[in-house]
Amino acid sequence: MSHKDLVINMKKYYAALLIFYLSVGLHAAVAQAKRIITLGSAISETVNALGYGKYIVATDVTSVWPEEINRLPKVSRNRSFSVEAITAFRPDLVLVPEGDFSKENLYQFKSLGIRVVAIRQEFSVAGANKFIRQIAAAIGDKACGEQLAKQTTSRISYALSQLKKGNKLPKVLFIYARGVGTMNVAGKGSSIDAIIKLAGGKNAIQEFSDFKPYTTEALIKSNPDIILLFDFGLKSLGGKESFLNLPGVSYTNAGKNKRIVEMNGPLLINFSNRLPEAIKALNNKIYQ
Amino acid sequence: MRRLLIYTLLSAGLLVSICFSLALGAMRIPLKEVIDTLTDTMGFNLFGGTDHGINQSVIMMIRLPRTLMGILVGAALGISGAAIQGIFRNPLAEPSLVGISAGASLMAVLIIAFETLLFSSLSQLLGYYLLAFGAFAGAGITAMLVYNLSKVNGQANVSTMLLAGIAINAMAGALTGLVTYLADEQKLRSITFWMMGSLGGATWQNVGCLFPFVLVAVIGLPFLAKGLNLFSIGENQVELIGLNPNRIKIMVVVLATMAVGASVSVSGIIGFIGLLIPHLTRLIGGVDHRFVLPVSALMGAWVLTLADLVSRLIAQPIELPIGVVTALMGSPVFLYILIKDKKKLVN
């Protein structure tokens, strides 16, 4: 080996060393979260899909998928939680849907030195992409988020290209039910409105936004072709047969043709990594 | 002698529940560390006062403000309940029963829902105090309304007052429902918080905001005790010794609603304390307002601290709404008093 070769080798060695140190340094700058609390089903599912499920230490009652996550303690119930109970898990990152923590709660976590990242969810294909990237950035692994976001986008494009279509967009009415007394229908701008559109249907309610209480007359007036419920919602009303017997249902196209459709709740409103599956499943049920 | 004993026992009870409230919670923090943190903050250095990190922060930033808020809200509800029962000369007059809490929370809900639309200039002026002032105004307006509605020939008529209270509760409830219907999801969550009641949002900031309002009521109301004693015999008795009954009434309503309004604005509606505490106080120590008022404040603080402790510990790691706990603790005791004093109440 000549002297020149040795110098070149040395240079290569130092360059490699430099790159190694730089990458270590960069890694240290965005400390990767090791004890994560995920509140909200979509956030829990996304963290799992990013491969960080093993770092989750607690979740909320809505986080039921994937199956293993049910082993973890549920630290929040319908947005009622205690700051101290969350702190007791010594999390280094709390991921929460934007708006779920009050100003006071955010202030409390800040004074405890616990990092809380509020995740904004928009109900669209681009929104799913952003949702994944936000969570990956909060965890400290942007590259992984990039990968999952790209993969999800291409899977969404594929799902959309494979959609079954009819001559006319069927009108879908979504009813959120927790027993006969508490029934709400989904209006414009809601998560349900967005998924119905993506899956090749039309929301039967165009008069108002968000969720509003259900009335028999409004049901008859909107005359949906299909009535969509969460699986637990249909169960709370006593199943498909007793739903068909509710006042007014038999006057709608959906009632006449017995087109009552149920979907898994967390899947339907995931709007993240599982959006392609949700589109496909709902589309299949609308055009079955 | 008996009263001295009651004061001593209640103070001791309050002190013990404060200690438990600081020492117990979802975080397991050794007692030694709790004492160490507290003494360290006060400037003593018992065990060397080393930095305990997150445990220390939990005690100083979560448990201590929360405990203080429980004490302040409990004292406010207890003493206001006693004073309002005094001027109405009725044991059922309680801030939530006669509509004062409903008025306060309606105002709070309106401010939350329309803050950006209608109250932006007020919000800049009052800042953090806007909600407290709004709740106070709502409480004051309803109290005056109920009182004036219930007056027959210059005397507050008991059944009219209760019915007026029910009507105002219904109206405030309906208006709150209407606002809820119109509000978006995020505002809905803040509104639900008011309806349920909770001490979970306690920070040094809102404890500091609550403190002056409660302090004024707790110091001011006992000065009116003599007048309230005469009230229980008859309004003309007050005039006979040269006091102005209307001035006493207005003073009581202003002080009580100030404390209740400010409490509602930071902790939402917490029922039963204002009704139950004065009853318990009279049960153990008689009807003299010079005794009933301060002891109601003391006992209110104690019971609410205790109720908060139960709400935090019973369903860990999830918290029960404190309103559920106070109602569960309060209603059986109240029923017992009712059955026991049935004859007295009828006459």
Q: pLDDT at residue A147 above 60?
A: yes
Q: pLDDT at residue A81 above 90?
A: no
Residue A132 and residue A271 in contact, taking contact as beta carbons nearer than 8 Å:
no
Q: pLDDT at residue A50 above 50?
A: yes
Residue with the bigger pLDDT between B108 and A133: it is A133
The CATH T-level fold of domain A171-286 is Rossmann fold (3.40.50)
**Residue spans of alpha helices (H) in A113-257:** 125-139, 142-161, 191-198, 216-222, 231-236, 239-244, 253-256
> Rounded to an integer, what is the distance from CA A38 to the centroid of its chain?
12
Lowest mean pLDDT among A9-18, A189-198, B91-100, B326-335: A9-18
Q: In Å, how far are A175, A186, B177 from A207, measured between CA atoms?
A: 15, 10, 21
Residues B233-244: tens digit of each pLDDT: 777 777 777 777
Determine the residue of chain B that is closest to A189 in CA distance: B184
Interchain pair B28, A88: CB under 8 A: yes
In chain A, pLDDT over 70 holds for what percent of residues?
A: 89
Which of B62, B67, B112, B188 would best serve as a mutation to test chain A binding (most A beta carbons within 10 A)? B62
Interface residue A285 vs chain B (CB under 8 A): no
Interchain pair A75, B318: CB under 8 A: yes
Interface residue B321 vs chain A (CB under 8 A): yes
Paired residues of A117 in beta bridges: A95
Tell me the helix, strand and coil percentages in chain B, rounded to 5: 80, 0, 20
Looking at residue A47, its pLDDT comes to 96
Residue A133 and residue A146 in contact, taking contact as beta carbons nearer than 8 Å:
yes
Residue A233 and residue A203 in contact, taking contact as beta carbons nearer than 8 Å:
no
B71-80 per-residue burial string, b: 16 or more CB within 10 A, e: under 16 = bbbbbbbbbb
Highest mean pLDDT among A4-18, A85-99, B109-123, B309-323: A85-99
Residue A121 and residue A271 in contact, taking contact as beta carbons nearer than 8 Å:
yes
Interchain pair A85, B62: CB under 8 A: no
Name the helix (H) or strand (E) containing A118: strand A116-119
> Rounded to an integer, what is the distance from CA B70 to the centroid of its chain?
9
Q: pLDDT at residue A152 above 90?
A: yes
Interface residue A87 vs chain B (CB under 8 A): yes
Alpha carbon distance A255, B6 (integer Å):
68
Residue with tokens 């409490």: B263
Determine the residue of chain A that is closest to B205 in CA distance: A104
DSSP character at residue A251: G
Residues B132-183: tens digit of each pLDDT: 778 888 888 888 888 788 777 766 676 787 788 888 888 888 888 888 777 7
Nearest Cα neighbor of A104 from B5, B268, B138, B104 is B268
- For chain A, which residues make up each domain, given as ranges? 36-161, 171-286
Residue with the bigger pLDDT between A226 and B334: it is A226
Q: pLDDT at residue A79 above 80?
A: no
Lowest mean pLDDT among A240-244, B75-79, B93-97, B288-292: B93-97
Looking at residue B265, its pLDDT comes to 81
Say which CATH superfamily domain A36-161 falls into. Answer: Nitrogenase molybdenum iron protein domain (3.40.50.1980)
Q: pLDDT at residue A137 above 90?
A: yes
DSSP A48-116: HHTT-GGGEEEEETT---SGGGGGSPEEEBTTB--HHHHHTT--SEEEEETTSS-HHHHHHHHHHT--E
Interchain pair B318, A80: CB under 8 A: yes
Residue A172 and residue A288 in contact, taking contact as beta carbons nearer than 8 Å:
no
SS3 A203: strand
Q: pLDDT at residue B128 above 90?
A: no
Residue with the bigger pLDDT between A211 and A143: it is A143
Question: Average pLDDT of B91-105?
Answer: 77
Interface residue B314 vs chain A (CB under 8 A): no
Residues B179-220: tens digit of each pLDDT: 877 777 667 767 776 777 888 888 898 899 899 999 999 999
Alpha carbon distance B215, B222 (integer Å):
12
Question: Average pLDDT of A200-213?
Answer: 87
Q: Which long-range contacts (CB under 8 A, 24 or more apart) does B277-283 make?
A: B277/B77, B277/B78, B277/B81, B277/B82, B277/B303, B278/B78, B278/B81, B278/B82, B278/B85, B278/B91, B279/B91, B279/B334, B279/B337, B280/B333, B280/B337, B281/B78, B281/B82, B283/B337
Paired residues of A203 in beta bridges: A172
Identify residue A212 by its one-letter amino acid code.
Answer: K
Domains and CATH numbers, chain B: 11-342 (1.10.3470.10)
Q: pLDDT at residue B313 above 70?
A: yes
Q: In Å, how far are A23, B30, B83, B101 from B292, measured between CA atoms?
A: 71, 38, 9, 21
Nearest Cα neighbor of A146 from A160, A159, A133 is A133
Exposed (0-12), middle (13-18) or buried (19+): which is A179, by Cβ within 10 Å? Answer: exposed
Reported pTM: 0.79
Alpha carbon distance B245, A131 (integer Å):
64
- Could you say which residues from 119 to 138 on chain A have a Cβ atom under 8 Å away from some Cβ of chain B? none
Q: In Å, how far are A100, A104, B24, B137 from B204, measured between CA atoms?
A: 21, 10, 20, 24
Tokens of A189: 């701008």
Tokens of B197: 């009641």
Domains A36-161 and A171-286 share a fold: yes
Q: pLDDT at residue A13 above 70?
A: no
Residue with the bigger pLDDT between B239 and A57: it is A57
Residue with the bigger pLDDT between B22 and B245: it is B22
Alpha carbon distance B297, A125 (integer Å):
57
Residues A20-43: tens digit of each pLDDT: 555 544 444 457 889 999 999 999
SS3 B224: helix
Lowest mean pLDDT among A227-231, B73-77, B156-160: B156-160
List of residues 6+ apart from B215 with CB closer than 8 A = none
Q: Which residues of chain A are within 8 Å of residue B200 when distances are taken between CB atoms?
A: 82-83, 105
> Where does the pLDDT of residue A284 fall: very low under 50, low under 70, confident under 90, or very high at 90 and above?
very high
Chain B nearest C-alpha distance from A226 (Å): 26
Residue with tokens 């607690």: A58
Q: Which residues of chain A are within 8 Å of residue B58 when distances are taken between CB atoms?
A: 84, 87, 112
Looking at residue B82, its pLDDT comes to 93
SS3 A9: helix
Give helix B2-23 / helix B31-42 axis angle, nearest 10°.
Answer: 110
SS3 B88: helix
Q: pLDDT at residue B87 above 90?
A: no
DSSP character at residue B199: S
Looking at residue A27, its pLDDT comes to 46
DSSP character at residue B221: G
Nearest Cα neighbor of B21 from B56, B76, B69, B75 is B69
Lowest mean pLDDT among A15-24, A28-37, A110-119, B54-63: A15-24
DSSP character at residue A209: B
Q: Which residues of chain B are within 8 Å of residue A90 when distances are taken between CB atoms?
A: 54
